[in-house]
Amino acid sequence: MKNPADPKKIDFNDEDSNTSPNPTFDTVLAARLSRRGLLRGGVGTAGTALLGGLAVAGCGGGGSNGVAFPVLPPAPAPAPPPAPAPQPPTEKLLGFGAVAKSLADVVSIPAGYSFSVLYALGDPLTAGTAAYKNDGTDTDFENRAGDHHDGMEWFGLDASGKYSLTSADRGLLAINHEATTDEKLSSFFLHANGGTSTLPRPAAEVDKEIAIHGIAVVEVAKTSNKWATVPGSSFNFRLTPLSDIEIAGPARGNSLMVTKYSTNGTRTRGTLNNCGTGKTPWGTFLTGEENWFGYFTRSATDDAARADKSVVALKRYGSAQGGASRHGWESAGADDKYARWIISKTGASVDGSDDYRNELNGMGYIVEIDPFDKNKSARKRTALGRFAHESAAFGVPTVGQPLAVYMGDDARNEYMYKFVSTALWTAADANPADRMATGDKYLNDGKLYVAKYNPDGTGVWLELSITNPTVAGYATYAFADQADVSIHCRLAADAVGATKMDRPEWGAVNPANGEIYQTLTNNSNRRIDPSGSSQLAPDAANPRAYTDMKGATAQQGNPNGHLLRMKEGSAGGAATTFTWDIYLLGAEAGADQSMVNISNLTADQDFSSPDGLAFSPSTGICWIQTDDGAYTDVTNCMMLAGLPGKVGDGGAKTLSYTKADSSKLDVLTQVGKAATPDTLKRFLVGPSACELTGFCETPDGKAIFVNIQHPGETTKQADIADPSKYSSRWPSNAGYGAGSRPRSATIVITKDDGGRIGT
Ligand code: FEO
Ligand code: CA
Ligand code: CA
């Protein structure tokens, strides 16, 4: 449940703590005024695109951070990005018939395609685990599929069980289990009577709820043309919020990581609210920890007990003193596994080794996992920053060049980040003997940047380094060292004046040209006349503020979201400048084409709140998935197939707003070429009250795996005993599994003629 328009409850998925004073309306206005002489177009008039050529100096400074690796020789002269381009299609891409918008409680896909349910909440992962009864009495979730399937990656297996880049009939799916369907505290579909909505929560309920979070690795195989999981596979495993995990990178051993659990600050327990994913060029799984702050609580007097800069940091990361936790897990007993959810300063120690005052610093990372070896410790890659992580998208690797990883921070008014490795890419690392050691090589040491977007279509990556005087001298928060910068990179990004965005969700890199695509799902805080500390005027990279009606409800801000894309400067992934434009703007097909439906979406293409995003390595299709609450009066969430052009294929555009005092606000932006029936088409509509998220495919492109998250999320806990009142009964209504409670699930989609998906 992500959309702020959803009135159901406090939304722990929509944290909103960025009240820093950087990019304000005034700076947008100043930029616009300085350009007024250059741009004379009015509303809907395309001016001249001013892409490239306006290089802006990057923010200087910053050496390596953390432990040194062997220094590699200087890079050879930059080569043009290689073109590991998709196979030239012999079939027509987007040749399928568009799927109509729908409110039906089914999965709708084009004629000529089939799907089957592969892996749903509660399905056994081990041979000894009982079949899922789906009536609220099941236990043993450490050995079952978790809940709220989210990001997902494919890792091929050859016949001998080794990593294969080509295997298309046997592999591992590494899957995020982000969260669970709740109304007030209780994950009500997991408990026979809906569970306990008051404190204290029973330990038996809490133990199940904790165990359905985390990640899973499950083997899948195709036999006689039918895909299924391998329930007893020795590869299968779960990580939960209680699994022991190593801290890696600059924060390892830092004083900010010291807890009662790890008095030397090198370990923590668990991974939580795992949302987007990534796949490293060396064959490991990356999972992003997103809305973790809401699972913890601290006392109403904790600010005074701390009386130090940690209070500033906690507030910037969404933790206000006295706030309730999402599920009340801390109330289930005195055991340490419950006590750790209370992050108040209660101990007498100076360093925090006798309580969990620093526990929140152990969450919020990109975590690396070796999907092939359940006995290897997962590692939190702290060099990639700490925030509400979604996906981690690698730039196209180039031998002799650093690796770049692109990441978004999904909360209103948060930022876009890039990590650039110190180590240079070596082809031999594509299938190494020790994958986690290879992760240490590339992901523990490098530079972290945040993006600033200029109205003229240029942008700059600002380095977040303790050697950057703007960071080191930040008045709001006194950074101690690079570990402090990594752990509190939101504050460092505030200091350097990064651009506040409309909720960055997934990123993906176009394999054909290396351009970086990013969904910006929506932002209820954009306003033509902003008021208060968290509302913002539209700006170049987030140019819309409008009202969309959902029945009688006026949805303000940027309710439908957009997709932005970037092209790095001549230094490729290491560049500190880039150009950008907006690939697509979500909208209803009938909305005003000058100010809202700027991408000219038709009824076969219109969408709202883009979230999941992936390029098919086989076909090059850009798959766009939605997690929407704004257009759900008309359609369930969906997945679309796009064939994008490139940055700069459209042009500049000015959106002209009238403010309450009748003065004008002109916002210059850069918009890509409008969609056509040949470049964008709806491929799938999901069942009721779900979101579409997670995409991966077999290397031949003939099977794709997609997650249906939280069908029936809008069900009321009080209706648990009456299935006729559930807002979805999928997938049991599609013939899968026992009971009638809705379940998040992975589906596999194939084409009936054996062709590639999306043709
Ligand atoms: Fe887990 Fe921002 O979606
Ligand atoms: Ca509407
Ligand atoms: Ca998401």
- Rounded Cα distance between 653 and 2, Å, is 30
Query: From ligand 2's centre to the CA of 691, what distance in Å?
Result: 18
Please write the tens of the pLDDT for every residue from 635-689: 999 999 999 999 999 999 999 999 999 999 999 999 999 999 999 999 999 999 9
Confidence of residue 138 (pLDDT cuts 50, 70, 90): very high
Q: 698-711, pLDDT tens digit by residue?
A: 999 999 999 999 99
Whether 247 is in the pocket of ligand 1, judged by its Cβ within 6 Å, is no
Q: For ligand 1, is residue 105 a contact (CB within 6 Å)?
A: no
Structure tokens at 699: 């290397």
The neighbourhood of ligand 3, an ion, using CB within 5 A, equals 505, 611
176 CA → ligand 3 middle, Å: 11
Amino acid at 337: K
Q: What is the pLDDT of residue 170?
A: 98
**Ligand 3 centroid – CA 480 distance (Å):** 32
* C-alpha to C-alpha distance for 199 and 203, rounded to whole angstroms: 11
Percent of the chain, pLDDT > 90? 88
**Residue 86: which pLDDT band, with cuts at 50, 70 and 90?**
low
Quick: pLDDT tens for 475-499.
999 999 999 999 999 999 999 999 9
Structure tokens at 332: 């289930």
pLDDT exceeds 80 at position 61? no
Contact 655, 543 (CB under 8 A): yes
* Confidence grade of residue 67 (pLDDT, cut at 50, 70, 90): very low
- Average pLDDT (222-244) is 97
Neighbour-count burial of 160, counting CB atoms closer than 10 A to its CB (0-12 exposed, 13-18 middle, 19+ buried): exposed
Residue type, 410: D
At residue 90, the pLDDT reads 78
Quick one: which ligand is closest to 552's CA? 2
- Quickly state the pLDDT bin for 713 (edges 50, 70, 90): very high
Percent of the chain past pLDDT 70, that is, above it, reads 89
pLDDT of amino acid 85: 53
User: Taking residues 167-172, what's their average pLDDT?
Assistant: 98
Regarding the beta carbon of 172 and ligand 1, being less than 6 Å apart is answered: no
Does the beta carbon of 183 sit less than 6 angstroms from any atom of ligand 1?
Answer: no
Atom of ligand 1 nearest to the CA of 273: 1
Mean pLDDT of 204-214: 98
In ligand 1, which atom is closest to the CA atom of 290? 1
Three-state SS at 572: helix
Measured by CA distance, the residue closest to atom 3 of ligand 1 is 275
23 versus 55: the higher-pLDDT residue is 23
503 alpha carbon – ligand 3 mean position (Å): 10
Ligand 1 in reach of 581 Cβ (< 6 A): no
Cβ 275 under 6 angstroms from ligand 1 = yes
Q: Which two tokens stand for residue 405?
A: 């990883």
**Nearest partner of 669 among 486, 489, 543, judged by Cα:** 543
> For tokens 């003997």, what's the residue?
433
| Ligand 1 atom index nearest CA of 150 | 1
Contact 216, 175 (CB under 8 A): yes
Ligand 3 centroid to Cα of residue 506, in Å, is: 7
What tens digit of pLDDT does each residue of 385-438 get?
999 999 999 999 999 999 999 999 999 999 999 999 999 999 999 999 999 999
pLDDT at 590: 97
Q: What is the mean pLDDT of residues 170-193?
A: 98
Burial class for 222, CB neighbours closer than 10 Å (0-12, 13-18, 19+) = middle
Cβ of 628 closer than 6 Å to ligand 1, yes or no, is: no
pLDDT at 335 over 60: yes
Residue type, 214: G
Q: Is the pLDDT of residue 78 over 60?
A: no
Q: Examine the pLDDT at 28 and tell me if it is beyond 70.
A: no
Dist. CA 100–CA 627, nearest whole Å:
17
Nearest ligand 1 atom to alpha carbon 276: 1
Cα–Cα distance measured from residue 78 to residue 76, given in angstroms and rounded to the nearest whole number: 6
Distance CA 395, CA 461 (A): 15
Question: 276 alpha carbon to ligand 1 midpoint, in Å?
Answer: 7
pLDDT digits (tens, 9 = 90+) for 664-679: 999 999 999 999 999 9
Ligand in nearest proximity to the CA of 414: 1
- The contacts of residue 26 (CB under 8 Å, 6+ apart) are none
- Measured in angstroms, how far is the CA atom of residue 437 from the centroid of ligand 3? 29
Bridge partners (DSSP) of residue 214 are 177
User: How far lies 439's CA from each of 145, 285, 628, in Å?
Assistant: 27, 10, 35
Nearest atom of ligand 1 to the alpha carbon of 179: 1
Is the CB of 505 inside a 6 Å radius of any atom of ligand 1?
yes
The DSSP symbol for 218 reads E
pTM: 0.91
Span 543-592, pLDDT tens digits: 999 999 999 999 999 999 999 999 999 999 999 999 999 999 999 999 99
Atom of ligand 1 nearest to the CA of 178: 1
Closest to 206 in 3D by CA, of 330, 298, 302: 330
Write the residue with the smallest CA distance to atom 1 of ligand 1.
275
> Ligand 2 centre and the CA of 618: distance in Å?
35
Look at residue 197 and tell me whether its pLDDT is greater than 70.
yes
pLDDT for residue 202:
98
User: For the segment 431-447, what is each residue's pLDDT rounded down to a tens digit?
Assistant: 999 999 999 999 999 99
456 lines ligand 1 (CB under 6 A): no
Range 379-385 average pLDDT: 99
How many angstroms does the Cα of residue 467 sit away from the middle of ligand 3?
Answer: 33
Q: Which range among 77-91, 332-346, 462-476, 522-536 shows the weakest confidence by mean pLDDT?
A: 77-91
- Residues 511-525, mean pLDDT to the nearest whole number: 98
Separation of CA 256 from chain center: 25
The answer to whether the CB of 205 is under 6 A from ligand 1 is no
Phi first, then psi: what are they for 16, rounded to 5°? -150, 75
State the average pLDDT for the chain.
91
Q: Is the shortest distance between the CB of 2 and ligand 1 below 6 Å?
A: yes
User: Is residue 38's pLDDT more than 60?
Assistant: no
User: Which ligand 1 atom lies nearest to the CA of residue 291?
Assistant: 1
Closest atom of ligand 1 relative to the 627 alpha carbon:
3
Q: 3-state secondary structure string, 505-529?
A: EEEEECCCCCCEEEEECCECCECCC
| pLDDT value of position 59 | 29
Q: What is the DSSP letter of 119?
A: E
Which atom of ligand 1 is found nearest the CA of 390?
2
Phi (first) and psi of residue 4, to 5 degrees: -65, -15
